[in-house]
Amino acid sequence: MRSLLNRFRSSRKLSPGNTHGNGVRKLDVMDGPPKNADESAAIIEELSQTFHVSLAQMKTISEQLKKEMQKGLNQEGATVAMIPTFVSGRPTGEEKGRYLALDLGGTFLRVCEVDLCGNKEFKIRQKKYKVPLSLKEGDFCDLCDFIAECLGSFIADLNPGGSILSTSSTHDHSTTTAGSSSSSSSSSSSSNDSTTNVNNNSNAAPSSHHESTVQPEQDKYQLGFTFSFPVFQTSINRGVLKQWTKGYSCTNSVHKDVVEMLQEAFLRKQVPVNIAAIVNDTVGTLMALAYSVPETAIGVILGTGTNACYYEQMKDIKKWDGGETATDEMVINTEWGAFDCERLCLPLTIHDRKVDRESLRPRQQMFEKMISGMYLGEISRNVILHLIDRHILFDGYSSNDLNKAYCFDTSYMSSIELDDTPDLQETRHILEDVLSIPSTSLTDRQLVKHVCKMVGLRAARLSACGLAAVLKQSNLVSAGCTIGIDGSLFEHYPDFESNMMQALKELFGPYIAYKVKLSLARDGSGLGAAIIAMLAHKNARRGDIPTTTSSPSSTSVAEEQPQQDVQQYQKEASVTENHKDEKSIKENGIQEQQEQVDTKKEIQDTNGDGKVPHQENNQKREQDAADVIEEVPKKQDETK
């Protein structure tokens, strides 16, 4: 048998380690650096074929995803979970009122006051507080008390000596007109106020200024709580914690209702706030745009991770056993990132399989691993290393930096694709100065640029497959709608939006561009959460809140899973020499380290400004300058 194998290898001129990117063995005569333009073109064609997603494949993928979505609507335990979110009703843009939002999910707690002004306009004032490490690891009751005191202080600072339910006309006269450009930071001196500055190691939260007894229900602020951890949601404002992630390990909390515990803290601290809804960031994205663009029917995250939600008819949610609802439809959180863990239709390459195999959760979140910002850079790095092993790139030389997992940030891909200098100087800088490749030729840089282009293009086309499945499931292909999309892949990655639309045109015909609009939607965890609180409160006052049922979390796996894969390499990064610390942080994208760097500089309100796409969720939560209350009037554009 061995001699037969050797004869086969000899006759085919094969080396055991040389393979095409798609897993097919490759002839030795094609290895080595390209000697002329024809060989370069052949290598580029090989890469293009490796990552190409044909129209036939896109149709198969979208149809299979639609089938999996229907399975998830019919039964629990499906691969695509299709989680009922208990959010029913749609904003019209004419609602008015002041609502609060809390966003807990990392180093900072963000508190927002959202003033819905009607006429599709709103204003936001917000503040963030650093959560001490001791509270992340201590008793959850202490963390709840901290949150309550921060919230009480925030309310008092907004309305010194007045009612918390004062109308929008009582806002500071310095508020600019809605629709004007807003500053990314505030010049307020409150950042030095010792009662509000909690960016230190003390466990003490700011003192609450509220000494009055708790008001009746109608006198309370209604709050949307974005809780970015896995929970079993049992109603619009009830959720049982499954486990902690992202550096939290609070005791006295797992398998308990986190909303009830936080509401009890509000009572203890006499903070007149009712938690009207526990919020998923993807659903928040849908609502954040729907207030300004009421025809918004789908919300999507395309950033660190990926997910989608949409309105589904209650009659088609066969597994629902929660009783009557306020309307005949409910928002469904698809959790589409888990699609095709069975590997039935996604066009996996050897590079995708390697990334999956070395992740913390192999054979899970396969769709996400092929299209989200967390993984695109890692896929590209593996392709580059594969070409190095074949002596096609860099004369066969790599570097210690390039050999580190997750060092090739998705932001590098973006910069390389945007590099239009004659000799690709920005690409040279990234490869030689940042990643320490000894030397690169122009041909090397051109091939690396093509790798990035192909990986990014494939991600956009696969994302379009997901949109196509949701459009068909919700019967919106002919009717049309606006799709609200958050995340810096969509916002900043070169041609991502146009490549998605081109794929949709291939799937549905050119008319789809007139029926379906892709629009940027920001701040689902703030604005979106407040709007969900408004809808939930309105339904509750009518007595339309669904009865309790068991449903998996509407907290997105899209946000949870990618961070865990990066944390696998945190120890390795921490032992790097001191003079490489800043570079190590950028390369590995570790959440805690990045947030510590961000606190030393003014944080721009640009969702990461396109510089680190796979960390936009962290930066979005830190878009204010540290400890400054900011009043930001906004009006979402109807189109991007």
pLDDT band at 35 (very low <50, low <70, confident <90, very high): low
Q: Is the pLDDT of residue 624 over 60?
A: no
Q: What is the reported pTM?
A: 0.75
Q: Is the pLDDT of residue 205 over 80?
A: no
158-167: which pairs have CB atoms within 8 A and are 24 or more residues apart? 158/113, 158/125, 158/629, 160/209, 164/221, 164/272, 165/98, 165/219, 165/221, 167/98
Among 228, 235, 372, 463, the active-site one is 228
Helix, strand, coil percentages for the chain (3-state, nearest 5):
45, 15, 40
Residue 273 is given by DSSP the state: E
Predicted confidence at residue 194, as pLDDT, reads 30
Paired with 518 in beta bridges are: 483
Paired with 299 in beta bridges are: 309, 484
Q: Which residue has the tokens 């030389």?
A: 397
pLDDT band at 543 (very low <50, low <70, confident <90, very high): low
Q: Is the pLDDT of residue 176 over 90?
A: no
The average pLDDT across 514-534 equals 93
- The residue that leads in pLDDT, 336 or 637, is 336
Q: Is 228 a catalytic residue?
A: yes
Predicted confidence at residue 534, as pLDDT, reads 92
Q: With helix as H, strand as E and coil as C, how does 300-367 read?
A: EEECCCEEEEEEEEHHHCCCCCCCCCCCCEEEEECCHHHCCCCCCCCCCCHHHHHHHHCCCCCCCCHH
Predicted confidence at residue 42, as pLDDT, reads 87
Predicted confidence at residue 558, as pLDDT, reads 41
- The answer to whether 88 and 555 are in contact (CB under 8 A) is no
Rg of the chain on CA atoms, in Å = 25
Among 98, 110, 390, 458, the active-site one is 110
Among 257, 281, 340, 598, the active-site one is 281
Q: Which of 58-72, 212-226, 310-324, 548-562 has the highest mean pLDDT?
A: 58-72
Predicted confidence at residue 1, as pLDDT, reads 45
Phi, psi dihedral angles at 577 (to 5 degrees): -55, 150
Q: Which residues contact 532 (CB under 8 A, 6 or more apart)?
A: 87, 224, 276, 277, 279, 283, 284, 287
- 76-90, 173-187, 592-606: segment of lowest average pLDDT: 173-187
Nearest to 91 by CA among 520, 516, 531, 481: 531
CA dihedral 291, 295, 297, 301 (to 10 degrees): -60
- The residue that leads in pLDDT, 96 or 620, is 96
Q: Is 268 a catalytic residue?
A: no
- The answer to whether 449 and 491 are in contact (CB under 8 A) is no
Q: Is 423 a catalytic residue?
A: no
Nearest to 376 by CA among 51, 568, 614, 583: 614
pLDDT band at 25 (very low <50, low <70, confident <90, very high): very low
pLDDT in tens, 361-399: 899 999 999 999 999 999 999 999 999 999 999 999 999
Q: Is the pLDDT of residue 60 over 90?
A: yes
- The residue that leads in pLDDT, 218 or 258, is 258
| Alpha helices (H) in 13-106, listed in sequence order | 37-51, 55-74
The average pLDDT across 469-479 equals 97
- The answer to whether 431 and 398 are in contact (CB under 8 A) is no
